[in-house]
Chains A and B, each alone.
Chain A
Amino acid sequence: MSLAKRLIPCLDVENGRVVKGVNFVDIRDAGCPLEIARRYNEAGADEITFLDITATHEGRDTTYKTVEAIASEVFIPLTVGGGVRSVDDVRALLHSGADKVSINSAAITNPDLVSDAAAKFGNQCIVVAIDAKRVSGANEPARWEIFTHGGRKATGIDALKWSVEMTARGAGELLVTSMDRDGTKNGFDLELMTKINELVSVPTIASGGVGNLQHLVDGVQKGGADAVLAASIFHFGEFTIAEAKQAMANAGIEVRL
């Protein structure tokens, strides 16, 4: 008996609709968040992550309503992120029914937000999203930097150091997205995952780049991730959640079937 590795479908939501773009650009519509969440739950998803990609610009009311609708019908953990800027934002999402709130760019402009939110609501509900891009040259030791604005803006912050700082401030989980891989279907950045897992003692979620089921297996077995996250391979029906779980189980990974 041991803890199962988790499979997490991610819904990128814009104006109340699920979308997923290639490298965060060229977005396609893949449906209603509640319908998709319900379908994923029935198919055996371990958790659902919901990222409001327009939250930085748009009003939040649609988001809260969508979260509440999902939490009323889908009885598995729900993580919500996107545009979370303050302790009040965290509180509002938790009260709408989110179990965990993912903090992304606001952690960079205001790292105290992570400490404050963790102290207030508990580490277990604070996820910090690490959007990392490889910045080292071909012959240099691997180095990754934190990027914001969907991977367009460099911050100069070292991703590994940042992971350690965020967990020290109270992040209960890290959602690690390779901005190089996101949307490419070439698999996770396993080296990035491995390095972060050597440094932190909280659970990590690998994200960005899943194109086939072996990539999910590799995220756990080679990257050391506690959970693997994917969006488009599920939204467009290339693979089902059940197939993904079975592939992980066949590879010897303990999963919830």
Chain B
Amino acid sequence: MDRIAVIDYGMGNLHSAAKAVQKVAPNDEVVVTSDVSVIESADRIFFPGVGAIGDCMKAIREAGIDRVLADQIYQKPTFGICVGMQSLFDHSEESGGVDALGILPGQVLKFGAMHEHGKPLKVPHMGWNQVTQVEHPIWHNIRPDARFYFVHSYYVNALDRDSVFGKGHYGIEFDALVAVENLVACQFHPEKSGNDGLQLIKNFVDWNGQC
């Protein structure tokens, strides 16, 4: 039995994320926690995030999650989701410009005015969209045309292009899933993406942390 830590830094509801993990890992212990020692003792880490990144970064730092993440992130399989993904990078344009964790090189940028088929694209990018998948165990048993649920107004532009294993498309191309060693992070919400999302979470839970 593995222990899976879902990191809670007080920003929004982690109920669905924890329930989704428990559903695909019924024999594992899923713990929603901000306790550094629990995170350190876990076999896997989920690092979700919703809301404004400025508030998230503040809460992450206040809870000491920044230090434990920097320490733990390459020691065990870790999965960043949505703002959790964004906060791994250097800097975000949101909230007037916010320095993030800087674990991965790159920027979080705002969707500008964009058009598709002559019509302005709405922001946030909200709903089910496809991802151009690059071969990685995280995509196991997921069709190439599968759709995932996105809700975001900012997107990741990773500096290390070899770390991009999923490209999103909304007016422009953006980084929907990145992976470096045992770290995976995605912009969409697998815990809200029906069966394909559950499969992706299962793939992470089953993953040995190697490509």
A interface, CB within 8 angstroms of B: 1-6, 41, 46, 68, 71-73, 75-77, 94-99, 121-125, 172-173, 201-203, 226-227, 256
Contact = CB atoms under 8 A, between A and B. Distances in A.
* Chain B interface helix/strand/loop/mixed: mixed
B149 interface: yes
A121 B51 contact: yes
Interface residues of B, number: 37
Contact of B124 (A46, A68, A123): A123
Given A3-B170, A203-B122, A124 B12 contact: no
Nearest to B150: A3
Nearest to A5: B127
A138 B128 CA distance: 40
Interface of B: 12-13, 15-16, 19-20, 23, 50-52, 116, 120, 122-130, 132, 147, 149-153, 169-170, 189, 191-194, 197-198
Given A68-B15, A94-B12, A125-B50, A3 B192 contact: no
B129 A97 contact: no
B127 A3 contact: yes
Contacts of A41: 194
A201 B192 contact: no
A41 B23 CA distance: 15
A256 B147 CA distance: 7
B124 A124 contact: yes
A99 B188 CA distance: 13
A1 B122 contact: no
Contacts of A76: 149, 192-194
The 9 closest A-B pairs by CB, nearest first: A122-B51, A256-B128, A256-B147, A4-B128, A124-B151, A1-B169, A72-B19, A1-B130, A97-B15
B15 A75 contact: no
Contacts of B132: 1
Q: Residue among B16, B19, B123, B124 with the most chain A CB within 10 A? A: B16
Contacts of A4: 127-129, 147
A68 B147 CA distance: 25
Given A2-B116, A75-B191, A77-B192, A201 B15 contact: no
B187 to A, nearest CB: 13
A226 B128 CA distance: 11
Nearest to B145: A1
Given A99-B192, A122-B51, A75 B16 contact: yes
A3 B124 contact: no
B125 A75 contact: no
A6 B127 contact: yes
Given A3-B125, A4-B127, A256-B128, A122 B52 contact: yes
A2 B128 CA distance: 9
Nearest to A172: B124
A81 to B, nearest CB: 16
A173 B122 CA distance: 10
Nearest to B152: A124
Given A75-B192, A94-B13, A124-B153, A172 B127 contact: no
Nearest to A95: B13
Contact of A202 (B12, B122, B130): B122
Given A2-B169, A123-B153, A124-B151, A226 B127 contact: yes
B63 to A, nearest CB: 17
A202 B126 CA distance: 9
A147 B170 CA distance: 35
Contacts of A75: 16, 19-20, 23, 191-194, 197-198
A113 B124 CA distance: 20
B203 to A, nearest CB: 15
A123 B169 CA distance: 21
Nearest to B82: A124
